[in-house]
Amino acid sequence: MIDLDQFRSDTRAWLEANCPPEMREPVRSEKDACWGGRNPDFQPGQKEWMDSMASRGWTVPDWPTAYGGGGLSPAETKILREEMAAIRARNPLNSFGISMLGPALLKYGTEEQKLEHLPKIARGEIRWCQGYSEPNAGSDLASLAASAEDAGDHYIVNGQKVWTSYADKADWIFCLVRTSKESKQGGISFVLFDMASDGVSTKPILLISGYSPFCETFMDNVKVPKANRVHDENKGWDVAKYLLGHEREMISGMGLGSTGGNPLIEGAIATIGLNDRGELADPLLRASLALFEVRSKAFTAMSERFIDELKAGQAHPAQPSMMKYYGTELNKTRHELVMSAGGSDALEWESEASAGGAKPRAWLRTKANSIEGGTSEVQLNIVAKRILELPGA
C-alpha cells in the first residue's frame, strides 16, 4: 500500500527541483504549448520539462509503465495534478496521441500496436493528427467516403479529409476510411499511417484569429499496411466513438482554465483596480466574474466526479457530451470576460506588449470550441436523447 502523504511530498520535491521556471509561467499563446514530434519547435525549457516528465512516465501518469506511462493509481495521478497546479506547472506535452489515440489503442490495439506507438507518444517523439471530418461528413460523420481498397496485405487509401488540426505538423494520422459500402457505420475501418507516406498532402486553412491550426488533407493512392488497422475491418466505428468520448473529455477540460492562481481575476484587478473596500472597482464586471466563478467551481467539481466515474467504468457513455457542451461554453465566457476586463487595450492585435495580440486571438479561437469535437447542437441532441431520454423529432 503506497503512502499517499509520502507520495505527495516526494512529488512536490521532485517537481520543485525539475520544473524549469519558464514552465511555471502562464500559457499566453499557441507557441507556449509543447507538442514534441519529429520536427519540434521547442521554446526555452520545453524540451527539458517534457523529457524530465517522460523519464518518469508522467506525461501519461496513469498509463501502464510497459507503454511508457507512470503506472500511477487514480489517487496518485490526482496528487500529481494538484502538485503541478500548486506551482503553476505547464502541461509538459500537448498531444492528440495522449488525449485521443492512446486510450483507443489501450482498449482496441493489438499488443504490437501498443508497444510500437504508445511509448513514442509518451516520450513526445511522434505527433498525431485526427483524420475524421470530410467535406461532406462532419456532424454526420458516418457518411464519410474516403476509401480503403483491399490490396492483399495492404489497403490503397483515396479521398479527402478536412479541418485536420495540425496535419501539416503531424508525423502520423489516425484516420477513418470506408472499407465497405454495404452499411453506413458498419463499413468504416480505423487505420494509422505515416504522414510522410507517398500520396499524402496537406493544405493549411487560415482562421479569423490569424492562426492556421488546421488543414485539408488529401490521400492519393496511399499504401497502408493492414497491420496498421486498429480493431477488425468494418468495426472502426466502435473505435471512432470510443475515441470521440475521450476527445470530448479533453476538450471539456478547457472549462477548467489554466492551472494555479486565478489569471482572470488577477488580470481584472491589474487593469481596473480595487475600490476602497478592496473590491474590483467595476460592479457589473464584478458580478459577472462572481457568477462565472460559481459556475466554474461547480464545473470543476462535476469534472472531478466525471473523471472518477470514467476511470471506474461507471460513466454514462453520453456524459462526455454533457461535459464538452458545458466546458466549452464556460471557456467562451471566460475569454469574453478577459476581453471585457481588458478594455480597449485587450483588442491590441500585434504589439510586443500584447504578446502578439494573445488575448483577442485566444478569444476568437474559443469560437471554435463549440464546433470542434462535435458541435454544441449535436452534443445537446445526444444529451436529450441518451441521458434525458426525450423523444426524437
Ligand X SMILES: Cc1cc2nc3c(=O)[nH]c(=O)nc-3n(C[C@H](O)[C@H](O)[C@H](O)COP(=O)(O)OP(=O)(O)OC[C@H]3O[C@@H](n4cnc5c(N)ncnc54)[C@H](O)[C@@H]3O)c2cc1C
By the criterion CB under 6 A, which residues form the site for ligand X?
Answer: 129-133, 138-139, 163-165, 214, 368, 371-375, 377-378, 381
* Closest distance to ligand X from the beta carbon of 166 (Å): 7
Comparing every residue's Cβ against ligand X, the nearest one is: 138
How many CA atoms does the CB half-sphere of 193 hold within 13 Å? 29
* Closest distance to ligand X from the beta carbon of 369 (Å): 8
CA distances from residue 23 to 10, 17, 18, 257 in whole angstroms, order as listed: 20, 12, 10, 16
Q: How far apart are CA 81 and CA 198, in angstroms?
A: 41
Pairing outcome for strands 214-225 and 128-131: unpaired
Q: Considering the complex, state which of residue 313 and residue 392 has its C-beta at the smaller distance from ligand X.
A: 392
Residue 205 in 3-state DSSP? Answer: strand
* Closest distance to ligand X from the beta carbon of 316 (Å): 20
* Closest distance to ligand X from the beta carbon of 44 (Å): 27
Q: Considering the complex, state which of residue 311 and residue 385 has its C-beta at the smaller distance from ligand X.
A: 385
* Closest distance to ligand X from the beta carbon of 75 (Å): 33
The neighbouring-strand residues paired with 147 are: 158, 178
* Closest distance to ligand X from the beta carbon of 23 (Å): 25
- Nearby residues of 121 by Cβ (< 8 Å), 6 or more positions away: 60, 68, 95, 97, 98, 101, 102, 128
Q: Considering the complex, state which of residue 63 and residue 214 has its C-beta at the smaller distance from ligand X.
A: 214
Q: Considering the complex, state which of residue 163 and residue 299 has its C-beta at the smaller distance from ligand X.
A: 163
Q: Considering the complex, state which of residue 163 and residue 292 has its C-beta at the smaller distance from ligand X.
A: 163
Q: How far apart are CA 88 and CA 217, in angstroms?
A: 36
- Mind spelling out the 3-state secondary structure of 206-222? CCCCCCCCEEEEEEEEE
* Closest distance to ligand X from the beta carbon of 141 (Å): 7
Residue identified by cell 476581453 is 339
Q: Are 166 and 214 in contact (CB under 8 A)?
A: yes
* Closest distance to ligand X from the beta carbon of 210 (Å): 14
Q: Give the total residue count for the chain.
A: 393
Q: Considering the complex, state which of residue 339 and residue 380 has its C-beta at the smaller distance from ligand X.
A: 380
DSSP 195: T
The neighbouring-strand residues paired with 154 are: 225
Kindly provide the b/e burial profile for residues 16-53, where b requires at least 16 CB atoms within 10 angstroms of the residue's own CB. eebbbeebbeebeebebebbbbeebeeeebbbbbbbbb
Q: Considering the complex, state which of residue 247 and residue 282 has its C-beta at the smaller distance from ligand X.
A: 247
Q: Considering the complex, state which of residue 131 and residue 187 has its C-beta at the smaller distance from ligand X.
A: 131
